[in-house]
Amino acid sequence: MPQRRELGLALGVLALLALLAQQLGSRNRPADEVDRRVSTLLTGPDGARGLAEALERLGIDVRRWRQRAQFLTRDTGTAGREAFVILDPAYALSVPSMQALLRLGDSTFPRMDLVLAGEAVAPLMGCFGYMIRSVGPDSVQVTPPGRTPGPAAPWAHAHLVRRGEQVYADSSRMEDIGPFRCRVPVFRERERLLVTEAGLPVALRLVSEEGAGREILLVADGDLFRNRALRSTDAGPFILGLFQGRYARVTFDEYHQGFGPSGSMAGAVVDWSRRHPLGWAAWQLAVVGLLALGFSAARFGPIRRIIERQRRSPLEHVRALASALAAAKGHDTAIAALIRGLRRRLLPAGHRASGDSDLWLSGVMETIRTERGRNAIATLRQLTRPGQPADSVRRAALAVEDLWEDLRS
């Protein structure tokens, strides 16, 4: 079978297997795999990245905090008020985190307010004298006080209820860390920002009497901050109005949304490949490719012996050079070059070999005392005549070597 046909057949089989794996993965995929976290790192309909990007376009510095609340640091270069926002976290706040958030607004963070939204932060809302209660089996439209709900009015599932206690106690984690207690501060101002048609508060702004008038913003339903609500309802202008012109920086808590500092991109990719049908298809495609490579390895054939190539000897190079000179008819040039090289070696440093080579050889003849030297000079004088045979270059090289050894001895 031709190689191109084999390659096409293999690609077709791999594509068919990938499609089959994708279909099987879709069948085994859970019915609801939508990420419901109200995080500014998520761009889906249920995420809150639209809020962060809108605040940046309004000139507000946006920071995503991906560590515990007790490690929160203050940027001294930021002028103006700041807000720390927790939007219906996916993981419950720990007691140390709540204690650190209650200390916001003291001497360390004198101009930092707190924004809490969603039922997941209800224990922390209790420290400010409020709890969350469902509005009923269905959601209701909410508007600012004194307005009639329009067609684009946002919907809420819960409202805020004021507590009467001066000390809030939470015993939900009695087994591991014991009860949590906090004192409810005194507020000099309580402003209703969103209410239901029945007048139940859904969003409140509380202004503390302590310090520089720290503000606490409580929102009963975290869905008001989702991308879907900001885009399709009047929740968009309302939510942006809570921050525009009031804060220079807004910090979003992403640690309790599951985006802590741990983990890596490789781990995230592997985790995604386990849950997504395309990931299963990629894994199965890789396994099929390895199996296909293993089965086709038998077609590579037996081990071939390496052809041993030996390097040419110096004699072969000389012979090749002589053959090249013979083909180019450059014997006279080569012989003249040999004699000039000999003259250059015999002359003192800085002198150049010039003049007729035959006259120079005649002068050297008078200083030669041995018979080998005289024969070498005679051979060279004979070979300097034009029209020498192919063997003349070799004879000239031997004669030059004999003459050099005779003059040096």
| Residue in the structure block whose two tokens are 């209790």 | 126
- Same structural domain for residues 257 and 351? no
In a domain, 294, yes or no: no
Q: Please report which residue ranges of 180-313 form alpha helices under DSSP H.
A: 227-232, 235-243, 265-275, 277-296
- The tens digit of pLDDT for each residue in 312-339 reads 666 576 567 666 766 666 777 777 777 7
Contacts of 216 (CB under 8 A, 6+ apart): 113, 114, 116, 128, 187, 205, 206, 208
- Same structural domain for residues 224 and 132? yes
When pLDDT is cut at 50, 70 and 90, the band that residue 263 belongs to is low
Secondary structure E strands in 301-345: none
In a domain, 281, yes or no: no
- Same structural domain for residues 210 and 357? no
pLDDT at 204 over 90: yes
In a domain, 308, yes or no: no
- Same structural domain for residues 108 and 202? yes
* The pTM of the whole model exceeds 0.75: no
In a domain, 397, yes or no: yes
What pLDDT is stored for residue 15 in this prediction? 75
Phi, psi of 256 (to 5 degrees): -80, 0
- Separation of alpha carbons 354 and 338, rounded Å: 14
Highest-confidence segment of 73-82, 128-137, 364-373: 128-137
Helix (H) or strand (E) holding 155: strand 155-156
- Structure tokens, 38: 């109200």
Taking 3-state DSSP, the helix, strand and coil percentages for the chain, each rounded to the nearest 5, stand at 45, 15, 40
- Same structural domain for residues 140 and 229? yes
In a domain, 133, yes or no: yes
- Same structural domain for residues 218 and 367? no
Beta strand pairing status for 187-196 and 201-208? antiparallel
- Separation of alpha carbons 327 and 123, rounded Å: 101
Highest-confidence segment of 65-69, 278-282, 307-311, 372-376: 65-69
- Same structural domain for residues 108 and 205? yes
Q: What is the CA radius of gyration of the chain?
A: 46
- Same structural domain for residues 76 and 186? yes
- The tens digit of pLDDT for each residue in 37-75 reads 999 999 999 999 999 999 999 999 999 999 888 888 766
Number of domain units in the chain: 2
Q: Where does a domain end: 261, 281, 304?
A: 261
Instruction: Report DSSP state, residue 217.
Output: E
Q: Please report which residue ranges of 79-180 form alpha helices under DSSP H.
A: 95-102, 122-126
- Same structural domain for residues 63 and 201? yes
pLDDT at 402 over 60: yes
- Same structural domain for residues 147 and 243? yes
- Same structural domain for residues 139 and 69? yes
When pLDDT is cut at 50, 70 and 90, the band that residue 393 belongs to is confident
Give yes or no for a contact between 37 and 47, defined as CB atoms under 8 angstroms apart. Answer: yes
Within the chain, how many helices (H) and strands (E) appear? 13, 13
Q: Residue 378: which domain range?
A: 314-408
90-104, 138-152, 231-245: lowest mean pLDDT where?
90-104
Q: What is the DSSP string of 29-56?
A: S-S--------TT--STTS-HHHHHHHH
What pLDDT is stored for residue 31 in this prediction? 44
Please give the mean pLDDT across all residues of the chain.
82
- Same structural domain for residues 211 and 321? no
Give yes or no for a contact between 62 and 55, defined as CB atoms under 8 angstroms apart. Answer: yes
